[in-house]
A and B are shown apart, each in its own frame.
Chain A
Amino acid sequence: KAGVTQTPRYLIKTRGQQVTLSCSPISGHRSVSWYQQTPGQGLQFLFEYFSETQRNKGNFPGRFSGRQFSNSRSEMNVSTLELGDSALYLCASSVSGDRLETQYFGPGTRLLVL
């Protein structure tokens, strides 16, 4: 079974631009979560989607948004990029998002904002 895939793997943008990151979960997994990893703040939960609905959201500004498609693939969007948005963005999938399930992580998208 293929793992979680994320595209692109690396991205360079400038302040004020917007960016869209993509995540394809493991086949059969319907829950997709997004996390931001930075040296200063560590790993922080962004949001979680299940069956095209956002069920959980972390403490991030409205510039961070996401969506999930009927095939469970998910995208996250960051508008009006700031320097502090430079980070590794990780996507994880699980079957239903239950707290006892294992989440499987993708390799991440490394975003650099100049």
Chain B
Amino acid sequence: AQSVTQLDSHVSVSEGTPVLLRCNYSSSYSPSLFWYVQHPNKGLQLLLKYTSAATLVKGINGFEAEFKKSETSFHLTKPSAHMSDAAEYFCVVTPGITGFQKLVFGTGTRLLVSP
């Protein structure tokens, strides 16, 4: 079965410093991977997705992620954190062989950004 593991439950950074949120996946097949963000009292918003095209994926708000098959990782990065980035981030996998979407979420990483 496909799954994702988010290695950190909380990450704290200072504004203007780089962000790294780590995600490892487990999949018997070529997965589709996503990063979603959830701000307090709001729904989930897609940041970026990997669907077996380019391994370096650029998303919204300056975020990007790199798919590394050899490391089974899909870490999310941003060069410079902004206060508005404070939120919960979810790494998500969807099975690579079925036609229909069924998102499997990681446990989430809460990003804290201090001034």
Contact = CB atoms under 8 A, between A and B. Distances in A.
B89 interface: no
Given A48-B102, A55-B100, A100 B51 contact: yes
Contacts of A35: 103, 105
B105 A4 contact: no
Contacts of B99: 98-99
Given A94-B101, A97-B100, A98-B99, A42 B108 contact: yes
A99 B90 contact: no
A45 B43 contact: no
A85 to B, nearest CB: 19
A99 B94 contact: yes
Contact of B96 (A99, A101, A102, A104): A99
Nearest to A44: B105
Contact of A103 (B90, B103, B107): B103
Interface residues of chain A: helix, strand, loop or mixed (majority): strand
Interface residues of chain B: helix, strand, loop or mixed (majority): loop
Contacts of B95: 99
A107 B100 contact: no
A7 B97 CA distance: 34
A19 to B, nearest CB: 19
Contacts of B106: 42
Interface in B80-115: 90, 94-96, 98-108
A98 B43 contact: no
Contact of A99 (B43, B100, B105, B108): B100
Contacts of A104: 46
Interface of B: 32, 36, 41-46, 49, 51, 90, 94-96, 98-108
Q: 4 closest Cβ contacts across the A-B interface?
A: A105-B43, A43-B105, A105-B44, A107-B43
8 contacts: A35-B105, A43-B90, A58-B102, A97-B101, A98-B100, A99-B99, A100-B51, A107-B43
